[in-house]
Structures are given as structure tokens and as C-alpha cells.
Structure 1
Amino acid sequence: MMKQNNLLLLALKQIFELSSVPCNTYRFVSAELGMVRSVKGTLEVSEQIFMLGQPYRLTEGRILLMHAGYIRVRANLIEFTLSAKQLIVTSPGTILQVLEVSNDCELEMLAFTNSLMEGWQKETFLQMFLQGRLYVQLDLAEKEEKRIQQFFDMLWDVVHDEPFPREIVRSLIAALFHQIYAYRMREMSEDKQQRTRQEEVFNRFLLLVNKYAIRERNIIFYAERLYLTPRYLSTLIRQTSGRTVMDWVNEAVVQEAKLLLRHSDKLVYQIADELNFPNASFFCKYFRRLTGKTPHEYRLGE
């Protein structure tokens, strides 16, 4: 069952090229938009490119409507469990690892390129999505789930029109984001009082780590960005997550290294340079200390 979900992790261009039949009963894939009505729509290309636990960077964002079962994932360093009657929105550029999928998992998915919405009058929530700054996981009431399902049904129907009705599709996507924003605001008003200052600072810290860890590995940098002293930031992060600031920074760096080792043909010294290590030897020791493998062993899947 695990291999059925790889479409969540790939660029539309990749899927389009690998699919001998881009469109069938369960999927629609074009250069700019992809829809899956069931995990059955991912079967054809799954064995060629998916690996459990392997990080992938999403070229396009994803909107998932979970119907049954669960998926355990790590998105931008944080582990989540996606379960039935949830809506998940994750931006382009998200680094995602699928850790576990239940045998009864069932879902629908929408993906589209930023270029599809180019020139569109974007509202704030859609803009955040396109700029790589959005991860939303919403529990849906029965009425809300039905409403989102109606959007998916209408999009599925419209994308099959000939010629492709680009403006109608763009309008429906924008309307879908307006609806998701309304549900998000409802949820935030309900749990706003429960969120502590520590949690808010921790979330802002992780955003910074995901953005800057390749270049900045000094606690002072993150403390200054958050207007805190290094000592207070260290204490806060440890209390909130049970891990140190450098644990999170190192994990982000290793995650990027894994992506480059598995998804590029760059030499180890080139990767070391891209990740701002002084030399390849230093990078190899660093990677082995944190993963238990050399970069070469990891690249070969040993």
C-alpha cells in the first residue's frame, strides 16, 4: 500500500512523463495541474520512484482530502499524522517524508503549478501557499468535508472539458482557497487561547531553520531574528521540543544533504560546497556522525 502514494511527492512534469496514460478514471495529469480521486490513480508510476522514509521536495504544493486510514509524515522537520476527515494544504518547496501508511488509506489530491495562477488576483492565503509559507492541517466537520468534496467534484468535471478551461479552473482554485481560509479562521479562533507564547516562538524558529539552516548554523543568528537572547532561545526550544537548537539546525542540514545525494548527480565535494561546509572531508564526517552512513553509502541506499 505504501507505494500507492508516491504521486503526493513528485513534480507534475515527472508524473506526466512517466505515465503512459496521464488521465484515467482515477487521475488527471497535465503539465500544470494534477488530480487524484483515489490512491488507485498513483499505481502506474509508484514502483519507479518512491521510497519509504526518503525526503522529497514538493515542486508543486498539495491539497489533500483524507477519506479513510492515516498517513504518518514528516513535513519540514515536524512529524504529523494525517487522518480521515482532514484537509491538508502544503506549499511548494515543502520537504516531505512519508513514514507510514495504513492499509485502508484513501484520499483525494489536487496539485497545480505556480504558473497556472500567474497573473491571477491572489488573496493572501493563496499567496502564502504559492510563496512556500503554508502548511495547514484541518479537522473537518461533516458539513465542511462535504463542501470541500463539492469543490473537488466540480474541478474534476471541469478539467476534462475541451479545450482546457484555464480561467474556470483558476477561478475554482481561488474559490477553494477562500473556503479553506474561512475554515482555518474558524479553527484559529477556537484554539487561539490554547497556544502558548513558547509554541508560537518555536513555530517561528522552525520556519527560520527551514529557510536559513544551510547558511546559518549559529544560535545567535536565530536568537536575533526572534528578538531573544541566545540563552533564552536555547531554554525555550528545549522546553518546547525536548531538543536543542542545534539538533533542529543539524536535522535541516542533513535533510537537504539527503535530497541532494538522492535526487541530483552532484559530486560529494559539490554538495559540501553548496551546503557551506569548508571541504568534502568535513561534510562526510558531519553526515556520518548524524546518520551513521557516509554520503556514498546513503546515495547507494546501503
Structure 2
Amino acid sequence: MMNDNNEKKLDYDFFIGKGLTEYSDGDIMVLDNINASSMEGTVKVDMVLMIYCIKGRLQGEMNGKVHLAKAGDVVICLPSSYLSNSMMSPDFECKIIGFSYKSMQNTMQMTRDALDLLAYVAKNPVVHLDLERQALVSKYYAIIAHKIKHPHGYFHKEIMHGIFQCAAFELCAIIAPHVEYSNDGGSMKQANLLFSKFMEMLNQNDGKTYPVKKYAEELCITPKYLSFISKSVSGKTALELIHEFTVKAIERYLKHSNLSIKEIADRLNFPNLSFFGKFTKSHLGVSPTEYRRQQSMKKEK
């Protein structure tokens, strides 16, 4: 049994620093296995980990509850989960995909149904796969392994993300029938309901720079309470989430549209070009013009 009182974090930087990844691109990583020392003591997971057990057994406590996974099972660890008293059989083998929280948001979009599904996974992190599903997951990993060994220069990251998203949604499809979905009159906590509405509004507004106050007024709550809900559910404030959607829209327009810089600034509701330029530089590291130039150079290679 591995048990000490030192808490460590399992996050993107940890795995990169240990040189354990077979693939990583800043949002998603792939590990061929995990060593016992990584799981010693009390461990806080600061990303989404999907552990597919190929051989042997893995047992441990997640958030105070003991779980056992064997060959053919997938263990899903959500951000802010605590793992302790972990034990692996000597023959334990696994494959692991890790998602940053941002990547998970981009994949799933935090709708009410997604929140219900995540709430179910938090309580039931071990997904048992039948033989057909095991074969399907193995095929996904075979494709991923092939793309890692034979990367293509064009759209490699986008292709990898597409494969990962498909694999994640396959798992969601397995889990979904077991979830009791909430509705407006159901048992969903008010905070989650308000947060899901907030996320729906962000999706509909497609990156426009509306202030927190506007969203709060539409939800009939105070800006302070909206940020409290946001932080509680997602780990990020309402303003941080608004900015994430805006940055994503800026990247999309600068990469894939012929809109002028001013047209993009106007479309995203920035008050002026100067403010748009400062915002873009603070989040992307360069001016809008320079970012577009860099993307054009990448396409020409």
C-alpha cells in the first residue's frame, strides 16, 4: 500500500516534467503507462485523466471512496479529485489520456446535460466496458499510436484532438444511459442550473465581450453571485470564462476569416481597436496583425 501524508498534484506539468508522455500539445497528452511512484501518498488531480486498464488491477480511494478497476475498465478522474491509498497489481498495465480543463470545456461545452453527466462520473469514476466496447477503445488507441509515430505536418494537432474527442464521446455514450438528467423542475442544484444557463449564453454570444453584469442581469442575480457560482462549478470566475470564449473567437477569426482587424473587433463588441489590440496581445502574446501573419506563415510551410 502506498500511503504518506505528502500531497502532490497530478497535472500537465507533472507528467511533462517526469518525461512520461508519449504525446503532448499543451491541451492533451497521452501516456503509455503510469508508475507506482506517481500515485504514492495523497494526490490531487488537476486535469481530466482517462485511465484504460489493459491488464491487472488498480485500487484506491477517490474522494474518500474505494474503487477497484480491472482489465477492460476505464477510470475517469475529474479535476480537483483526491486520490489516496493507491495499489497496483504487479502486472498492471494501462493507457492514459489527459485533458486540460480548457480542453474538456471545448470538447463537451458545459450544458445542463453535460453537468449532470460529470456529476455522475464524479460519484462513479469506473466505467466497465463489454468486449465490444473494449475492442472499440483499443482501435482508438491504435489510431492514436499510429498518429504519434507518424505525425503529419499539416493539421496534426487538430487531427489528434478530433480523435481524442471521438474517444471521449464514446465514453460519454456508454455513461449517458445511467445518468438521471435534470430538468427545470428536477433535482439539479440551483447553482449548476444557473451555471449551465450562463454557459449556454456564452455559446450563443460566440465570444462577444459583454460584461459580467449583463449576464448576471439576464439571470436575475448579482455579478458577484454569478462569479461565485462560476468559481464553484468550474474553478474559474465568470470574467475568466467570458475571456476564454472571446480568445477562442479571436483565434478563429484571425486564422480562418478574411475579416479585417477592425471588423473582428466590432463583431466581438470591443469599444475600439486599441482595446482589442491590448486584449489580444495580453492573451495571445502578440498583436492581432502579428498573430494572423504567424498563422499565414504556418499554412505556407
TM-score by length of 1: 0.48
